[in-house]
Amino acid sequence: FSLDAVNYMMDFQFRKAQRQDLTVTFVEPATASVVYEIGRLPGVIDSETMRSVATRIHFANRAKRVGIMGLESTPQLYRLLNTGEQPVAIPEFGIMLNTRLAEVLGVVPGDLLTVEVLEDKRPTLNLEVTKIVEEYSGANAYMNKQQLHKLLKESDVASGAFLKVDSNRVNEVFHELELRPGVASVAIKDAVIDSFQATMEKSVLVMRTFIAGFAAVIAIGVVYNSARISLSERSRDLATMRVIGFSKSEVSTVLLAEIALFTLLAIPVGWIFGFVLAAVMVSGLDTDNYRIPLVINPSTLGVAALVVVVATVISAIIVQRRINELDLIGVLKTRE
């Protein structure tokens, strides 16, 4: 399930929510004219600005140092989504928290937070939690950018910008921005995705292969052991069937059909236990840096079932050979 969860998390975070191609961060908050100039660069299709400030947020006896990002009321490039993957408009007043930060602070919509701004004049603000949004990376807070400007008593400045760029000119725009002295950093989203995906897939593939192999060994052991016990208990009956004229295949069918039936009944039960185990693992991996969603695709359930079926087939082949090698005379002479 881990690969399913990672793929969903990346699709949600980097494709549905964050739809920009480049993220630009300024050395110092830039004026509207600088942002306008960047938005007019050849190849830039659309641009949005953001204002970010370092803060310490307090609620009851809990506190967390986070950056508050000020966005437009209805951003199109850096969107905030709810659990149904629908865009959430940023209210004119109040503060929005993502799921992780809300859990850390123990707040719900309607609670009042004390926010210490750690920059410039360092004011202390009282803000109401208006909404909780779904995110899988970081513990983040968001506000309406215009409201943030008013509370900080500053002009319309920006800490960075999100750019939608012509796919054929991404590198060109990237290099142009790197040369500007007021630009601290430029991140290409596709490069971030590729790097993250390569790292995750490599580690997940190793873990997934190990777990699948381990599961296959356990499945073979369980199924084969059950078949051995069943064969031992029914060896006299099976031998009797052979003596009275049943063929080897007919005798094998009696035992192997029972094993197949139990296997088919066990697969859905295994799915349920697997889902519970995955939920426990996900809760254990929940950190301030990222949250792993509980996502299990039907294909993953199919692979799990296939592993059990293959293990059953291997066990059946081994048991079939033992049935064929039954000592009919010896078994029938054995007292019950």
Q: Could you tell me which residues come within 8 angstroms of residue 124 by beta carbon, excluding any fewer than 6 positions away?
A: 114, 115, 116, 117
Task: Report the pLDDT value the prediction gives residue 297, as an integer from 0 to 100.
Answer: 81
pTM of this prediction? 0.70
Q: Give the model confidence (pLDDT) of 211-224 as tens digits.
A: 777 777 887 788 77
- DSSP classification of residue 16: I
For residue 112, pLDDT over 90 is answered with yes
For residue 15, pLDDT over 90 is answered with no
* 128 touches 95 (CB < 8 A): yes
Query: With pLDDT > 90 as the criterion, what percentage of the chain qualifies?
Result: 28
Q: CA nearest 18: which of 59, 44, 40, 48?
A: 48
Task: Report the pLDDT value the prediction gives residue 335, as an integer from 0 to 100.
Answer: 54
Please state, as a whole number, how many other Cβ atoms lie within 10 Å of the Cβ of residue 116.
Answer: 15
By residue count, the chain amounts to 336
Q: CA nearest 177: which of 158, 163, 194?
A: 163
What is the Cα–Cα distance from 158 to 95, expressed in whole angstroms? Answer: 18
For residue 200, pLDDT over 70 is answered with no
Region label for 138, one of left (φ > 0), alpha (ψ between -120 and 50) or beta (otherwise): left
* 322 touches 231 (CB < 8 A): yes
Q: Give the model confidence (pLDDT) of 254-305 as tens digits.
A: 777 878 888 888 888 888 888 888 888 777 666 666 677 777 888 888 888 8
Q: Where are the domains of the chain?
A: 22-166, 201-333
How would you label 206-239 residue by residue, b for 16+ Cβ within 10 Å and e otherwise? eebeeeeeebbeebbebbbebbeebbeebbbebb
**Higher per-residue confidence, 302 vs 113:** 113
What is the Cα–Cα distance from 35 to 33, expressed in whole angstroms? Answer: 5
For residue 18, pLDDT over 70 is answered with yes
For residue 202, pLDDT over 80 is answered with no
